[in-house]
Structure 1
Amino acid sequence: MASNQQTRPGIGESAKDTTKGCVGVVMGEVGGRVQIRPIRGGTEGDAMPDNVGTPSAREELSARLAIRNANTRAGL
């Protein structure tokens, strides 16, 4: 039976907080909120489950490329 419910990314998968427009990795779920760590690293942010989706390939690539460019500029 098909479900109309959209599946959201699981722990360790790429995710997008649609309210903030940021792409990161799902780290867990606490208190009914999904914790997403930015791809660049840092502290997790909380997002309501309804606002979490799978980023498009373009969105994920763009986020990863921005980090790579910043590291290159910093000489890393």
Structure 2
Amino acid sequence: MTPERGAYVVDVRQGRIGQVMGQQGPYVQLRPPGGGREWDCPPDALRPAGPGEVLRARVTELNRESRLP
């Protein structure tokens, strides 16, 4: 699986949802919803995020943005 930049995916190794930020070498770079430290994940350890997971991720981001000065 090679997801598009901006897509939400799940890192099945940890069960974490992330937004695809790009690709560096053989790894996909993911960022947690709402910000935070990016991590690398091999493409074969990713699955598309379901609609409920995407909704939760977007709500997390909106909540973070509403707290910014």
TM-score over 0.5 (shorter chain): yes
Aligned residues, how many?
Answer: 66
Match of 1:24, SS?
Answer: strand
Aligned counterpart, 2:45: 51
Q: TM-score, normalised by structure 2?
A: 0.74
Larger Cα-atom Rg: 1
Q: Against the structure 1 CA distance between its residues 35 and 56, is the aligned structure 2 distance closer, same or farther, given a 3 Å change threshold?
A: same
Q: TM-score, normalised by structure 1?
A: 0.68
Could you tell me whether the CA contact under 8 Å between 1:10 and 1:26 is conserved in 2? yes
Gaps of 5+ in 2: none
Among the aligned pairs, what percent are the same residue?
35
- How far, CA to CA, are the matches of 2:20 and 2:57 in structure 1? 15
Gaps of 5+ in 1: 1-6
- How far, CA to CA, are the matches of 1:60 and 1:13 in structure 2? 9
Matched, 1:29 2:18: no
Aligned-residue offset at 1:59 = 1.7
- How far, CA to CA, are the matches of 1:17 and 1:48 in structure 2? 9
